[in-house]
Chains A and B, each alone.
Chain A
Amino acid sequence: MSPFNTHRLIKDEATEKQVFQVRALVTGLLMGLVLVLLGARFAWLQIGHHESYAARADNNRIRIQAVAPNRGIIRDRNGVILAENIPAYRLELVPERVPDLDKTLARIEEMIDLSEDEILRFRQRLGRHRPFERISLRLNLNEEDLARLAVERHDLPGVEIQPYLTRHYPFGELLSHTVGYVGRLDTADLQRVNRENYRATSHIGKTGIERSYEEQLHGKAGLERVETNASGRVIQTLERTDPQAGQDLRLSLDVELQQIASEALGARAGAVVGLSVETGEVLVLVSKPGFNPNLFVHGISQDYYSALLQSPFRPLFNRFLSGAYEPGSTIKPFIALAGLENGLITPESTVHSVGHFRIPGQQRRYRDWRRGGHGIVNLERALEESVNQYFYQLAYDLGIDPISEKLSQFGFGQPTGIDLPGENSGVLPSREWKRARLGEPWYPGETVIAGIGQGYQVVTPLQLAYATALLASENPVPRPRLVQQNSPAESLAPRVSSEHRQAVFDGLEAVIHGSRGTARAIAPTVGVPMAGKTGTSQVYARPQDDDERERLIVPDHLQNHALFAGFAPLDDPKIALVVVVEHGGGGASSAAPVAASVLQRAMLEPDS
């Protein structure tokens, strides 16, 4: 048998059993003691330190996260929607649920034609997110892609179509420079906002009204207390403070006028600015060409963006706000006022126009636009026919200081303070300005050409429009605004006597309604008496020699810019309007008709 059975010696079963039972009792007591001690440990954890562990359990699972507010709607003065939030769908991937990322991307690519750019950006985002977080592959899916994805989605795990609200600009290009656009929030944007309030926000106003009223439009982020699991995924929402939607904005803009102005400009580059003479409200604000702001919302492709940047027509350039043009002859009414106010001329003073002007003792001839001149002209005719020699003489007699003093009363050389970002202040030259800027003294010749808006002075179309409104109004005019504020905007009020104002009005009326007026062709279109002034902004300095001048053929892109500044109706001015047509040639032929179309429509409106 087994070796275990053979050498048993003395076996005292009774004693052995007793010994075992004693030992078993001891063992049992020891085990009981250990279990009681373990129970005490649990009591220590569960009763003694319950509160601290309960708090740690809550900290584990509860996280506070922000909820993005809905952005405010932007409307025009008649309630037409200019910027809205519309439902859209985006394609998202949850990496941890995608079994084979490369294969899945390849399949999606077959369906919706992903660009390399999109895949690259997706992969960049992939590295920055945790595997359970959704990463968007494409925003704003079109219906075709949506349909194709919907069919295949059931066997693409981790691929999701997510509804969301996206910013949409129904007028597209028409308001691209005015309303602006929103784009994806980047680190630079975070510098200018309260980060806490933007924790859930994906887009921020980048330009235009969207940028300058970002704070009102954005609203206040809500908070959510959510329960998360160990990897941070949200399981359920425990508590929610709803976000406060952004404020809606009503612009003073009239989108119908805007459309008319844009159509009147046609394919040409340029700007149209229309202001309410009474309130300074902006009624029309066009810069052409524009671009489709909706593309910036969904993330513009690199190709399209470089095309925009490289286009010779500079569609991204805001002409009414940042464009700096020589005012040309549109400055003449203001020079005239400077002369009248300084007592150098009266409306009856005359100049004999012979076709050119010479500073006494100098050889250089400053030409008139008409060879041979206009004969003997008073102020009214000087304005009507835009007689350069009259204003050469006047400017020369005035000197630069009174000119620049008077022009600055009309807001030249300073930003208008409109509620849009990126305004150019233009240049109003003076002795001090030239010394500070160029370190040179002022020359009398520069005063002469300043009389016809040439030389150093440049203006933005908006500036010129505001100056025109100031000229047209008896009363102070508030600085231009797109959105009415609670506190009225600061006003400018140039010192002009009504007698002198009337004298200039007469000249500007004659420009349109006079028999020799430079813009007399538009008089029938507008239908109401109005005032205006044409102008030409030099792009290319022409030779002073007559013959050479005649022979010169100037290519399109060196053609002068055409300007028009005016207001209507004449007896009770309501709207001040400026038109700039780049490379349009003459102000009368290309800029004035645009102004006429807009004014015609504006005069039909009961409220403007």
Chain B
Amino acid sequence: MNRTGWQDLFGLFPRPRIDPVLTGLLVAVMAIGLAVIYSASDQDTGTVIRQLVRYGAGFAVLLLATQVPANVYRSWAPWVYFIGLLLLVAVLFAGVGRGAQRWLDLGIVRFQPAEIMKLAVPMMMAAWLHARPLPPGLFSIGGALALMAVPVLLIARQPDLGTAVLVGAGGLGVLFLAGLRKRYIFGMAVALLAAIPAVWVNLLDYQKNRVITFLNPESDPLGQGWNIIQSKIAVGSGGLTGKGWLAGSQSHLEFLPEPHTDFAFSVLAEEFGFVGVVVVLGLYLAIISRALFLAGQCRDSFSRMFCGGLVVLFFLYVAVNAGMVSGLLPVVGVPLPLISYGGTSAVTILAGFGIIMGLYSRRRFMT
């Protein structure tokens, strides 16, 4: 089907501004995700259908996001950002959840305000930097860091270390893409290293335990270390080609904790082996490359930085989750994007790709 005919078909509707390459890659990862969830949920069709519904909702949000032009995002940015901050504050006082207060219960839906910040922080930083000369000067950098730091600290207070790290690193990614000078990059790296002891002191006990057991999982093989050990066993026992779909003993005999959410990648690695891992990591790399390319084509620096920040965030999801299940990183509740079971992050991620595709489609002044 050629491009014009395809566009004519939707003549009555707003122009669909989706990128077929990126969409195809996303659908491929989601399809793999459904297969993994089916296996990890002990072949529960209900779970798969619920996830499909979420993907449907995510795609609706994606399509919606493609229709919003850059200047609208830019003018919304402060509002979205400050509403997000307010909600994060509200969570500290009225949040619900086991152990950590992450959720706001709005009666009909429960959602995590931190999810909003995953979009709002890059959006706000991009808008802030866009309004100033690039590469950013010290004042711009300071402002951008403050815009990032406030929500990151609030999220860390919930406590949700995983999301805080993700949002913070995403913000740093925006700064880097903005063309941050090398001396500042170097200075920030030194400052980060120097901050480690201060961060450690402020960590909660359970967070410290996670880091300790990560460094030495055998110190607590039945408690904190269990997850890491069992996940590594699942991955390692998968071998080159895996045990076969639905045949992973670690996943199906309940050795693996949360096999369909945070440890879905372990299930994949156990059942499809190294081959499956390479395929999935390859797909993620393709998505990232394509999305970065699209970001680079955008018309204005706001769009580019916003899109670039979202790609960095997406990459961090993948890297942190893959590092976690393979025992390279401590267990932080970061899902594998578009594969792990769960609604909020899928919708956020698909919305992000909607934004990228939408902004890309407006790369020329005439469109």
Residue positions of A touching B, CB distance < 8 A: 1-11, 13, 16-17, 19-21, 23-25, 27-28, 31-32, 34-35, 38-39, 41-43, 45-47, 49-50, 52-54, 56-58, 60-61, 227-231, 235
Are A39 and B127 in contact (CB-based, < 8 A)?
no
Are B301 and A4 in contact (CB-based, < 8 A)?
no
Can you add 14 more A-B contacts, CB < 8 Å, to A4-B128, A34-B319, A229-B254?
A6-B131, A11-B301, A20-B179, A21-B296, A24-B177, A25-B292, A39-B277, A42-B274, A46-B274, A54-B239, A56-B236, A57-B237, A227-B249, A230-B253
List the 6 closest A-B pairs by CB distance, nearest first. A53-B236, A4-B131, A57-B237, A229-B253, A19-B179, A46-B274
**A16 partner residues in chain B, CB cutoff 8 A:** 134, 179, 301, 304
Q: Which residues of chain B (272-297) have a CB below 8 Å from chain A?
A: 273-274, 277-278, 281, 284-285, 288-289, 292-293, 295-296
Which of A9, A17, A61, A228 has a CB less than 8 Å from the CB of B304? A17
- Sample 26 A-B pairs with CB under 8 A, ordered by A number: A4-B77, A4-B130, A7-B132, A13-B300, A16-B179, A17-B304, A19-B134, A19-B179, A21-B296, A24-B308, A31-B288, A39-B281, A42-B235, A42-B278, A42-B281, A46-B239, A47-B240, A53-B236, A56-B233, A56-B237, A57-B233, A57-B237, A57-B250, A61-B255, A229-B254, A230-B254
Given A4-B130, A20-B305, A28-B289, answer yes or no on A57-B249 (Cβ-Cβ < 8 Å).
yes
Are B326 and A41 in contact (CB-based, < 8 A)?
yes
Are A35 and B281 in contact (CB-based, < 8 A)?
yes
Docked CA distance A250–B311 (Å): 84
Shortest distance from the beta carbon of A376 to any chain B beta carbon, whole Å: 95
Which of B128, B269, B281 has a CB less than 8 Å from the CB of A46? B269
Are B288 and A228 in contact (CB-based, < 8 A)?
no
B61 on interface, CB distance cutoff 8 Å = no
Are B285 and A31 in contact (CB-based, < 8 A)?
yes
B 35-75 to A, binary, CB cutoff 8 A, 1 in contact else 0: 00000000000000000000000000000000000000011
**A53 partner residues in chain B, CB cutoff 8 A:** 232-233, 235-237
Given A39-B278, A60-B249, answer yes or no on A45-B132 (Cβ-Cβ < 8 Å).
no
**B301 partner residues in chain A, CB cutoff 8 A:** 11, 13, 16-17, 20
Which of A5, A6, A20, A31 has a CB less than 8 Å from the CB of B296? A20
Shortest distance from the beta carbon of B331 to any chain A beta carbon, whole Å: 16
Most buried by B among A9, A45, A50, A52: A45
Are A38 and B254 in contact (CB-based, < 8 A)?
no
B322 on interface, CB distance cutoff 8 Å = yes
Shortest distance from the beta carbon of A532 to any chain B beta carbon, whole Å: 74
Q: Per DSSP, are chain B's interface residues mostly helix, strand or loop, or mixed? A: helix
Closest residue of chain B to A9 (Cβ to Cβ) is B133
Are B179 and A60 in contact (CB-based, < 8 A)?
no
Are B237 and A20 in contact (CB-based, < 8 A)?
no
Given A38-B281, A38-B319, A228-B253, answer yes or no on A27-B240 (Cβ-Cβ < 8 Å).
no
Docked CA distance A31–B318 (Å): 10
Are A38 and B326 in contact (CB-based, < 8 A)?
yes
Which of A25, A32, A229 has a CB less than 8 Å from the CB of B285? A32
Given A4-B131, A20-B296, answer yes or no on A54-B277 (Cβ-Cβ < 8 Å).
no
**B78 partner residues in chain A, CB cutoff 8 A:** 2, 4
B159 on interface, CB distance cutoff 8 Å = no
B16 on interface, CB distance cutoff 8 Å = no
Are B249 and A23 in contact (CB-based, < 8 A)?
no
Shortest distance from the beta carbon of B232 to any chain A beta carbon, whole Å: 6
**B293 partner residues in chain A, CB cutoff 8 A:** 24
**A25 partner residues in chain B, CB cutoff 8 A:** 292
**A10 partner residues in chain B, CB cutoff 8 A:** 133
B312 on interface, CB distance cutoff 8 Å = yes
Are B232 and A24 in contact (CB-based, < 8 A)?
no
Are B277 and A46 in contact (CB-based, < 8 A)?
yes
Closest residue of chain A to B241 (Cβ to Cβ) is A46
Are A54 and B236 in contact (CB-based, < 8 A)?
yes
Shortest distance from the beta carbon of B176 to any chain A beta carbon, whole Å: 6
